[in-house]
Amino acid sequence: MSHPFIKYHATGNDFLIFSHALQDPHGVAIKHCHRRFGFGADGILFPTRSDVADIKMHYYNADGTIASMCGNGYRAFVRYCLDEGLLSGTSFRVETAVGVIESTLYQDRDIELKFNHVIEELKPPHVLKPTKLKNPVMIENLSMHVLFVGTLHGVVFVDDPFKVSDELAHAMCTSSFFPHNINVNFVAIKSPLEINVRTYERGVGWTYSCGTGSVASGVVAHMIKGCESTIKVHVLGGDLTVRLHDSFWHLKGSVTVVGKGEML
């Protein structure tokens, strides 16, 4: 059986989006997200009906693991649903593995989503020992601020995120302190209004962009480094805006359709 899909990218974070639930999404993600032997993507997405929201989003990383939340994937998913007539209007409620998340379509076609919770204190099994955002843990001799923004993230301040080695990033991601690994964001402060971010995602590796990682980085830059409540986040794939509004953090950015394909 063939399965048509449309490929989107959200500031370089790319996804294969299918119109219906797949029989083996784990296997499909591993095979078809491969950059050499497949179509190439950071993950796959597909919609199903929701009893509590407008629609439900399912996301699998490139290695076949289920991701509880993906900020850029969410934005690509909403754009796909709009393009395919599954959603309409400018305000949406999407069911995810971490609950219903609201979003807005702007006139410039950018999509902004609201993060319901930023959890600053974490306990096992997510971490080996209880942590607090403002009290960094030492991982590979570097200070890491740990938080949960729909998925587990660590934020590490460095002089240049783009000079961090693959070996260091992988070691921090797979540290035994995190039983299920962690997404690691390497952040440099450019000004109170701008930061550079490079993210090493569990299940993916280095990405051109990470939506939840950008939010995590913005939150920590604001709380620890005194950055403003609206921050421009520069990633390899472009720019995102992270802002604090009405006590909630938001993520805004562009989504681009790449093309259509068919999985055989």
Would you call 173 a catalytic residue per the annotation?
no
Count of CB atoms situated within 10 Å of the CB of 90: 12
**pLDDT level of residue 264 (50, 70, 90 thresholds):** confident
The answer on pLDDT for 59 being more than 80 is yes
Position 231 scores a pLDDT of 98
Considering only 12-16, 44-48, 63-67, 70-74, which range has the smallest mean pLDDT? 63-67
* Average pLDDT in the chain: 96
Q: Are 61 and 205 in contact (CB under 8 A)?
A: no
The two beta strands, 248-253 and 256-263, are unpaired
What stretches of 2-149 show up as alpha helix (H) in DSSP? Answer: 25-32, 71-83
Stretch 50-59: mean pLDDT: 98
Each residue's pLDDT tens digit, 196-223: 999 999 988 999 999 999 999 999 999 9
Annotated catalytic residue: which of 81, 173, 210, 227? 210
The answer on pLDDT for 263 being more than 80 is yes
> pLDDT above 90 covers what percent of the chain?
96
Annotated catalytic residue: which of 33, 70, 81, 227? 70
d(CA 170, CA 150): 21
Count of CB atoms situated within 10 Å of the CB of 136: 19
259 three-class SS = strand
Count of CB atoms situated within 10 Å of the CB of 156: 23
CA 9 to mean position of chain CA atoms: 12
Residue 18 backbone class (left: φ over 0; alpha: ψ -120 to 50; beta: rest): beta
Each residue's pLDDT tens digit, 83-94: 999 999 999 999
Would you call 33 a catalytic residue per the annotation?
no
Residue scoring higher pLDDT (133 or 263): 133
Query: What structural domains does the chain harbor?
Result: 3-116+253-263 (3.10.310.10), 121-246 (3.10.310.10)
DSSP state, residue 182: -
The answer on pLDDT for 1 being more than 70 is no
DSSP state, residue 252: E
pTM: 0.94
d(CA 214, CA 205): 15
Each residue's pLDDT tens digit, 70-115: 999 999 999 999 999 999 999 999 999 999 999 999 999 999 999 9
User: 41: which 2 tokens?
Assistant: 């993507």
User: 255: which 2 tokens?
Assistant: 């989504």
